[in-house]
Amino acid sequence: MKKHILPAIKLTAAAIVFFAVFYPLTVWGIAQLAPNNGKGEITELQGKKYYTNIGQSFTQAQYFHSRPSAVGYNAGGSGGSNKGPSNEEYLAEVQARIDTLLRTNPGMTKADIPVDMVTASGSGLDPHISVQAAQFQLKRISEIRGIDPGKLEQLIADHTESPLIGLFGPEKINVLKLNIALDQLKK
């Protein structure tokens, strides 16, 4: 047993140095090369600062609505609901979201609703919606704002982000950027 203690202590010390010193300094150094020194992308609007890479709550009818959040868009408490698809409380919550979407988007059916409009992301802070989610809301916004649907379709196309290196993940739209552009379109 004594012959195993010294190697275990050495391995523990090496792991502490690597994981508590070397690795964090490496990640921090790489982050310094990123825009805003790794502090996230910040958008300033009318004197207020918003983190573009953290989900924001948009519920007003004249805006594109964001994806639901399991944590109330609280960046200090990232996490999902951890409720499975057979949980009755979760199913009731999803059904309430479906009912709200159908009420606020007349002429749409349950089959038209993209899944990301009724389910929260794993972090609860996803700043993006799918292209289908934006198109689902197009008619409502067009009618409320009096904007030609073609202009809104172009706005959606202009703000669609491609998958990472064209391979990883779906096309997506940052809701904050889209809604800022929507306000500027009206002006």
Q: What's the confidence (pLDDT) of residue 74?
A: 81
Closest CA to 67 of 174, 181, 182: 174
Judged against a pLDDT cut of 60, whether residue 13 lies above it is answered with yes
Measured in Å, how far apart are the chain's first and last C-alpha atoms? 77
Mean residue pLDDT across the chain: 88
How many angstroms separate the CA atoms of 94 and 126, rounded? 17
pLDDT in tens, 90-101: 899 999 999 999
Of residues 41 and 182, the one with the higher pLDDT is 182
Hey, what amino acid is at 60? Q
pLDDT-based confidence at residue 10 (cuts at 50, 70, 90): very high
Q: What's the confidence (pLDDT) of residue 172?
A: 93
pTM of this structure: 0.78
| Residue whose tokens read 């379709």 | 153
- Per DSSP bridges, beta strands 160-161 and 172-174 are antiparallel
Nearby residues of 127 by Cβ (< 8 Å), 6 or more positions away:
52, 53, 54, 55, 56, 66, 174, 175, 176
Domain boundaries, the chain: 1-39, 40-186
Mean pLDDT of 52-60: 86
pLDDT-based confidence at residue 186 (cuts at 50, 70, 90): low
How many angstroms separate the CA atoms of 149 and 3, rounded? 75
Q: What's the confidence (pLDDT) of residue 128?
A: 92
Mean pLDDT of 29-48: 80
pLDDT-based confidence at residue 187 (cuts at 50, 70, 90): low
pLDDT in tens, 141-185: 999 999 999 999 999 999 999 888 878 888 999 999 999 999 888
Closest CA to 101 of 129, 65, 131: 65
